[in-house]
């Protein structure tokens, strides 16, 4: 029996055979591993020292059905029952603000999602003030989503990672894929440290690195673009109400929410970036603060910390789930944008159905198929 210690090179080069090798140990990779383990031999390879180092570990951690748009809503809504029943959600509420000049937009927003079954309540100025004392005069209209919740991202990730391990899935950290070549009906995979593996199916759950993994495997990249998103934790000069909802702008220029007595604030930025260990830039934090001060008159004492993560989008801003049309042994599970956590249970259910050839699934996979990029 050959034994590998996670993150360390083996004494000699051997080949272990797996049914599935998953590239990436964020929420996407571990959710699939949890579903496949116990029925197949599964290996997760993660380039970093620990799983969930990048986007999963830097999420603003909320679930709201309108976030991502109408074509993301089915995945979000279908994910809700599992997240709620498993104890990963806690009440928050979501409030979208608009000016008089944006009245038509916020009315259309509320009507569009209400038609999809999302609970949305229209608020006037008095209704907004009941949630946001100190609201600047220009904000006159709002759409409130009472079902918006916070997500325990770390708990969810650990739940699936534990389930995957209990099912026999293996995880290797500091395991960067260097080469992948087709061998018969499977893959021969080489890590940067010289280890080699064989796999029946190669699953690309590499987040910002998804196109790079495709290129390594000789698969045409889709054009998945990582975008930097900035967050800052602020110590306020007034108490932050623990019942404050997630607050977003109809103009998509900010969002903020309470977190352990502090305020988490983002300028809702999407700055194109190469795949990297993203870090917040001072200018983006300053922009976020300026936008916040145009919404509320709450004094800010200081920025306690700031960070950034990469949200990765396909050209049409929808996720990519399914076997590559030109390479049937290569499975895309990427392009989840900023909604990968809130849609994770339904996305995993959809992908597992495709991997197993099971037609029973909660959400129609057609809008997310990689076939849509074939000319």
The overall pTM is greater than 0.85: yes
Among 291, 313, 335, where does a domain finish?
Answer: 313
Q: Is 363 in the same domain as 323?
A: yes
Q: Could you give the number of structural domains in the chain?
A: 2
- Pick the last residue of a domain from 277, 292, 313: 313
Backbone phi and psi for residue 18, each to the nearest 5 degrees, phi listed first: -130, 150
Q: Are residues 289 and 210 in the same domain?
A: no
Between vectors from CA 61 to CA 83 and to CA 274, what angle results, nearest 5°? 120
Q: Is residue 76 part of a domain?
A: no
Same domain, 143 and 245: yes
Query: Is residue 334 one of the residues assigned to a domain?
Result: yes
Report the pLDDT value the prediction gives residue 6, as an integer from 0 to 100: 36
The answer to whether residue 297 is domain-embedded is yes
Q: Assess whether 118 and 217 both reside in one domain.
A: no
Residue 246 lies in a domain: yes
Q: How far, CA to CA in Å, does 277 sit from each of 194, 311, 332?
A: 24, 12, 22
Query: What is the predicted pLDDT for the residue at 56?
Result: 66
Q: What tokens appear for 101 in the block?
A: 């000049």
Domain assignment present for residue 331? The answer is yes
Q: Cβ(135)–Cβ(296) under 8 Å?
A: yes
Q: Within this chain, do residues 95 and 137 fall inside the same structural domain, yes or no?
A: yes
Q: Is residue 276 a part of any domain in this protein?
A: yes
Instruction: Tally Cβ neighbours within 10 Å of residue 85.
Output: 9
Among candidate residues 313, 338, 356, the one where a domain is terminated = 313
Structure token pair of residue 345: 């249970």
In a domain? residue 78:
no
Whether residue 323 sits in one domain with residue 308: no
Same domain, 121 and 161: no
**Domain identity same for 144 and 254:** yes
Strands 15-23, 196-204: parallel, antiparallel or unpaired by DSSP?
Answer: parallel
Asked if residue 229 lies in contact with residue 239, where contact means CB atoms within 8 angstroms, the answer is: no
306 plus 157 within the same structural domain: no
State residue 10's pLDDT score: 41
Render pLDDT for 198-221 as a digit per residue (tens, 0 to 9).
999 999 999 999 999 999 999 999
State whether 162 and 206 are in the same domain: yes
* Per-residue pLDDT at 57: 64
* CATH code: domain of residue 42: 3.50.50.60
324 and 300 within one domain:
no
> Residue 352's CB: how many other CB atoms inside 10 A?
17
Domain membership of residue 64 (yes or no) is no
- The parent domain of residue 126 ranges over 90-150+225-313
Tokens representing 316 are 């049409």
Q: For the domain that residue 260 is a member of, what is the CATH number? A: 3.30.9.10
Rounded CA separation 372/302 (Å): 47
Q: Is the same domain home to 355 and 212?
A: yes
Predicted confidence at residue 60, as pLDDT, reads 73
Give the integer Cα–Cα distance in Å for 223 and 334.
Answer: 11
Written in H, E and C, the secondary structure of the chain is CCCCCCCCCCCCCCEEEEEEEEECCCHHHHHHHHHHECCECEEEECCCCCCCCCCHHHCCCEECCCCCCCCCHHHHHHHHHHHHHCCCEEECCEEEEEEHHHHHHHHHHHHHHHHCCCCCEEECHHHHHHHCCCECCCEEEEEEECCCEEECHHHHHHHHHHHHHHCCCEEECCCCEEEEEEECCEEEEEECCCCEEEEEEEEECCHHHHHHHHHHCCCCCCCCEEEEEEEEEEEECCCCCCCCCEEEECCCCCEEEEECCEEEEECCCCEECCCCCCCCCHHHHHHHHHHHHCCECCCEEEEEEEEEEEEEECCCCCCEEEECCCCCCEEEEECCECCCCCCHHHHHHHHHHHHHCCCCCCCCCHHHCHHHHCC
The pLDDT assigned to 28 comes to 96
Q: pLDDT 10s digit of each residue in the chain, 375 long?
A: 333 333 333 434 447 899 999 999 999 999 999 999 999 999 999 999 988 876 666 677 889 999 999 999 999 999 999 999 999 999 999 999 999 999 999 999 999 999 999 999 999 999 999 999 999 999 999 999 999 999 999 999 999 999 999 999 999 999 999 999 999 889 999 999 999 999 999 999 999 999 999 999 999 999 999 999 999 999 999 999 999 999 999 999 999 999 999 999 999 999 999 999 999 999 999 999 999 999 999 999 999 999 999 999 999 999 999 999 999 999 999 999 989 999 999 999 999 999 998 877 789 999 999 999 987
Map 103-146 to HEC letters: HHHHHHHHHHHHHCCCCCEEECHHHHHHHCCCECCCEEEEEEEC
Q: What is the pLDDT of residue 71?
A: 96
Measured in whole angstroms, how far is the alpha carbon of residue 25 from the centre of its chain? 12
pLDDT reported for residue 325: 97
- Alpha-carbon gap, residue 146 to 362, rounded angstroms: 24
């Amino acid at each position: 029996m050959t034994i590998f210690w996670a993150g360390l090179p083996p004494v000699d080069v051997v080949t272990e055979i797996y049914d599935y090798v998953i590239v990436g140990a964020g929420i996407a990779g571990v959710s699939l591993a949890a579903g496949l383990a116990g029925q197949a031999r599964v290996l997760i390879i993660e380039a970093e020292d620990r799983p969930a180092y990048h986007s999963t570990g830097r999420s603003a951690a909320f679930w709201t059905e309108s976030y991502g748009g109408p074509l993301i809503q089915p995945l979000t809504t279908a994910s809700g029952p599992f997240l709620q029943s498993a104890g990963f959600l806690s009440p928050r509420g979501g409030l979208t603000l608009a000016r008089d000049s944006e009245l038509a937009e916020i009315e259309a927003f509320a009507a569009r999602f209400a038609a999809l079954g999302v609970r949305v309540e229209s608020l006037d100025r008095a209704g907004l003030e009941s949630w946001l004392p100190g609201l600047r005069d220009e904000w006159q209209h709002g759409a409130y989503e009472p079902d918006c919740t916070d997500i325990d991202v770390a708990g969810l990730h650990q739940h699936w990672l534990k389930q995957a391990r209990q099912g026999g899935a293996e995880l290797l950290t500091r395991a960067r894929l260097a080469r992948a070549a087709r061998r018969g009906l499977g893959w021969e995979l080489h890590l940067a440290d010289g280890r080699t593996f064989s796999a029946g199916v190669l699953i690309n759950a590499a987040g910002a690195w998804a196109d790079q993994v495709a290129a390594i495997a000789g698969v045409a990249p889709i054009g998945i673009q990582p975008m930097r998103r900035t967050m800052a934790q602020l110590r306020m000069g007034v108490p932050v109400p623990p019942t404050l909802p997630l607050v977003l702008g109809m103009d998509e220029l900010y969002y903020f929410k309470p977190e352990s007595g502090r305020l988490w604030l983002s300028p809702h930025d999407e700055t194109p970036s190469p795949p990297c260990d993203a870090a917040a830039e001072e200018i983006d934090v300053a922009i976020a603060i300026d936008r916040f001060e145009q919404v509320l008159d709450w004094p800010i004492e200081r920025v306690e910390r700031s960070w950034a993560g990469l949200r990765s989008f396909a050209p049409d801003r929808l996720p990519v789930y399914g076997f590559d049309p030109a390479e049937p042994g290569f499975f895309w599970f990427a392009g989840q944008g900023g909604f990968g956590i809130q849609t994770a249970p339904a996305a995993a259910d959809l992908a597992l159905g495709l991997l197993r050839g099971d037609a029973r699934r909660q959400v129609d996979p057609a809008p997310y198929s990689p076939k849509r990029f074939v000319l």
